[in-house]
Amino acid sequence: MKYDLIEEAQKAIDYIEDNIDEDLSFETIAKKAYMSSFYFQRIFSILCGCTLGEYIRNRRLTLSGIALSFSHEKVIDVAYKYLYKNPESFTRAFFKFHGILPSAAKKDGSQLKSFPKMVLTDNKKEKIIMDYKIVQCDAFKVAEKRKTFTMKDGENLREIPKFWTKCNQDGTCDSLCKLADGEVLKNCLLGMCYGDGCLEEFVYSIGVTNSGKKPLPKSFNLTEIPSATWAVFTARGKMPESVQGLWKDIYSSFFPSSGFVQSMDIDFEVYPMGDINSDSYETEIWIPVKKRDA
């Protein structure tokens, strides 16, 4: 049986819906799609436009509104049903989402919001033509500035751009460029993402390929990237829109139909020197792959 990423991700979403009033573990959800928690959360965010935690929270608040408007359930009972620790925290979340208090939702004509169940589109039917190349690459070293981020509530989407801004402003990127003496991906900055396979936290770094022949400043790490087969994709256009759109196409179109799966919880973006605001700027995404089991 062939593995279809979209179909398996949908099974995980269906599992969420079937158990929305239970204590949901991200790791258990991810297993329904045969993925690590880290990998599934990344793919979910790319495909669905929100984090896994946001999706679960918004669906529970949607169903809470329905429960209060179409039944005689008490606010406290609905709060506990959808796993809020107390009525106060439920009221705050409900008001933030719906714009009214839970008690007001019980009145006729109350205006409520609905966040629908996610149904992933099979983009294979859209016949997206994607250019890519397969690169066999020996192990190489990266000199990098590392930082740990979390995917909770989309923190990584906000904080990683700030990390880049800080490293550009404080001279870190300039210092890294002076250390770029590796044979692979010369004259480029790399945005490296390292998954741990299960936790929400992950390491992200800004780096350059490095020979490892000279000592590095204490603030930098030297990391060896294992030998791998890489699928390489090119995004053309202004950053970050061009690369964000490419990530979505990779997971919604390429992986479901290509016969490849990601082989390691490592991937990176390649940023050549140039104007990232130019319509002609080119960025690469490198993802380690292996042939999918038949």
For residue range 184-234, list pLDDT tens digits in order: 898 899 999 998 655 678 999 999 999 999 899 999 999 999 999 999 999
Report the mean per-residue pLDDT for the chain: 89
Domain with CATH 3.20.80.10 in the chain: 133-291
Inform me whether the pLDDT recorded for 101 exceeds 50.
yes
| CA-to-CA dists, residue 224 to 139, 178, 228, 255, angstroms | 7, 19, 12, 26
- Count of CB atoms situated within 10 Å of the CB of 206: 24
- Alpha-carbon gap, residue 285 to 272, rounded angstroms: 12
Q: 126 Cβ partners below 8 Å, 6+ apart?
A: 253
Looking at domain 5-106, does it have CATH number 1.10.10.60? yes
Domain 133-291 coded CATH 3.20.80.10: yes
Portions of the chain given CATH number 1.10.10.60: 5-106
CB 25 within 8 A of CB 188: no
Report d(CA 43, CA 45) in Å as an integer: 5
Count other Cβ atoms within 10 Å, centred on residue 138.
10
Give bridge partners of residue 228 from the DSSP assignment. Answer: 137
Taking the C-alpha atoms of residue 181 and residue 143, their distance in angstroms, rounded to an integer, is 10
CA-based nearest residue to 95, from 55, 71, 68:
68
Asked whether 16 and 29 are in contact (CB, 8 A), the reply is yes
Say whether pLDDT at 43 is over 60: yes
Q: How confident is the model at residue 283 (pLDDT cuts 50, 70, 90)?
A: very high
End-to-end, the C-alpha distance of the chain in Å comes to 6
